[in-house]
Structure 1
Amino acid sequence: MADFVYPPVIAFARSMFKVQGLKFDIRGTEHVPRQGGALLVSNHIGYLDFVFCGLTALPSKRLVRFMAKESVFRHKVSGPLMRAMKHIPVDRAEGMHAYGHALDALRGGEIIGVFPEATISQSFTLKSFKSGAARLAMEAGVPLLPMALWGTQRLWTKGHPRNLGRSKLPITLRVGEQMRPHENEKAGALTRRLRLRVQELLEDAQRAYPAKPSGPADHWWQPAHLGGGAPTAEEAAAREREQQPLTTG
């Protein structure tokens, strides 16, 4: 079925990136298959990450269908666009429905994008990975495509104001070689190996990133272990627990 909405949305996004003056450093796009299913797996540090992850598939003339929380599909603006672009809603109360949808899409030759940390990392370091990505790839018989992005948190992330004007910010993207399970490898072991590879790509992206915080007020986007002002992983986890709504019963 032809995609009538996705290509114009991509064209609009790329035009906006030019207006913003974003400077891209993208490597590893040759690892994205030109045909057949694959599971693109990335770290998650900003609200626009899915847009930037999708850019890595354009040289292979592929479109990525992302798994996103169901509330995004209920929004009056983003909802119709997400459905028209054939992204996959994830209702955490009925996760198997989304899993089945993604499995069918992978077997049908689509590239599916997932963020196995499930939520934005407020420490900008890797959180633990859910095993769903590994299980999906293994059941569908498709490769995993590990990738990492850096700099996107400076545009729009949790707990900080949006910076969507002409910022001229650098954005660094790295795609690694395709990964498949070893013989008799379990989903848990593949998940650990996948996370390690994404960590390596993230560190490569950070080393290559051309900008440093310009002063004390600008240290917030740099991880604590690199001398920045972001919370540590432990502090971020505590903050997330405080932000979760209270439940009764």
Structure 2
Amino acid sequence: MTPVLYRIVRATAGRALRIGWRPAVHGLEHLPAGGAVLAGNHLSVADELFLGAVVPRHIAFWAKAEYFRGHRLAGALVRGLGAIPVERGGGRAVLSAFDAAVPVLRAGGLVAVFPEGTRSPDGRLYRGRTGAVRLARQAGVPIVPFGVTGTDAVQPIDARWPRRVPGAEIGFRFGAPVDVAGGSVREATDEVIRHIAALSGQEYVPAYAPLLRLGR
């Protein structure tokens, strides 16, 4: 069930984003009717905003746990939108994010994950962390890769809100679902990243991206 706040935000802020920036969207027909993990590159905080605006279904985002523990208003907002807190440090703490996400996927919902684990510091695509594949396997759903472009121009690091930039174009390309049930988790993750690279057109860096601090 789509949270009430999510419906309100999509009908207001989401509509404003679609009208104001007119993002180009391709491949929505690849979204299955049932559950799926949406896995894409991460250029800007605006990625989540525009992804929620262009996909006509509720998306449960994995959000940094710092947002839930920070400002009271920010915590209430991410909870009301149906976001799932995730501890980026890994270990046992990250399992709570899986516990919350798996029922959503098994019930036919969508969960968005950015395998790089943080925003790209320089516009390139970095090595993927294995959480998206592990989540898809545990829930028994496919991964739908997507590539986003242009969001780093309209909301670069340290910008509080998206802005209108002449010539900047936002685009989303969704690929066909990827079955990640076979092979090693690392191999499956690398395959997903290859699909994302093809959709986003980014240069690939075979190393993990440095984690950005909250607020950056």
TM-score (norm 2): 0.85
**Compared CA separation, residues 2 and 143, structure 1 to 2 (3 A):** closer
- Relative to 1, partners in 2 of residues 1:37 and 1:233: Cα closer, same or farther, differing over 3 Å? closer
Alpha-carbon distance in 1 for matches of 2:205, 2:156: 16
Residues 143-162 of structure 1: CA deviation (Å, up to 9, x unaligned)? 1000010000012232x545
Aligned partner letter, 1:179: V
Is it true that 1:80 corresponds to 2:79 in the alignment? no
Q: Which residue of 2 aligns with 1:48?
A: 46
d(CA) in 1 for partners of 2:153, 2:121: 12
Distance 1:161 1:111 in 2: 28
- Under a length normalisation based on structure 1, what TM-score does the superposition of the two structures give? 0.74
RMSD: 2.6
Measured at CA, do residues 95 and 187 of structure 1 come closer, stay the same or move farther in structure 2, by a change above 3 Å? same
Rg bigger for which structure? 1
Match of 2:108 in 1: 109
Go from structure 1 to structure 2 and tell me whether the alpha carbon gap of 1:18 and 1:149 turns closer, same or farther (over 3 Å shift).
closer
Q: Find the aligned partners of 1:90 and 1:178 in 2 and give their Cα distance.
A: 24
Q: Mark the runs of 5 or more structure 1 residues left unpaired by the alignment.
A: 207-224, 226-231, 245-249
Alignment partner, residue 37 of structure 2: 39
Higher relative contact order (CA 8 A, sep 6+): 2
**Local SS of the residue matching 1:129:** coil
Paired amino acid for 1:63: H
- Identity across the alignment (%): 32
Instruction: Verify: 1:67 aligned to 2:62, yes or no.
Output: yes
Secondary structure of 1:5's aligned partner: helix
Give the aligned partner of residue 145 of structure 1: 144
Match of 1:7 in 2: 7
Matched ranges for 1:1-249 at <5 A: 1=1, 3-17=3-17, 21-34=20-33, 36-58=34-56, 62-74=57-69, 75-93=71-89, 94-158=93-157, 160-162=158-160, 164-167=162-165, 169-181=168-180, 184-203=182-201, 240=210
Aligned to 1:113, what secondary structure does the other structure show?
strand
